[in-house]
Amino acid sequence: MSQQNTGVAVVGIDIGKNSFHIVGQDGRGEIVLRQKWSRSQVEARFAAAGGVVTAAFRAVLFEVTGVR
């Protein structure tokens, strides 16, 4: 996932309970990566990729109770 290998400049990470949705954009804002990773894959894939990218995280925390 380094900039030299895939052209990814920015990575968006949507944090879920059991998985992460990953979207990578190149320097022009075009989507060049769209995948779903398990929690265990995230650290391993970033470590193996090398290089530097900007990462943006999104997490939604809510609880639905008493909805009628």
| Domain residue extents for the chain | 3-52
pLDDT digits (tens, 9 = 90+) for 28-47: 999 999 999 998 898 888 88
H/E element holding 20? strand 19-25
Q: Please choose, from the candidates 37, 32, 38, the residue with its C-alpha nearest in 3D space to the C-alpha of residue 22.
A: 37
pLDDT above 90 (res 63): no
Collapsing DSSP to helix, strand or coil, 68 comes out as coil
- Closest by CA to 35, choosing from 57, 19, 53, is 19
**9 or 2, higher pLDDT:** 9
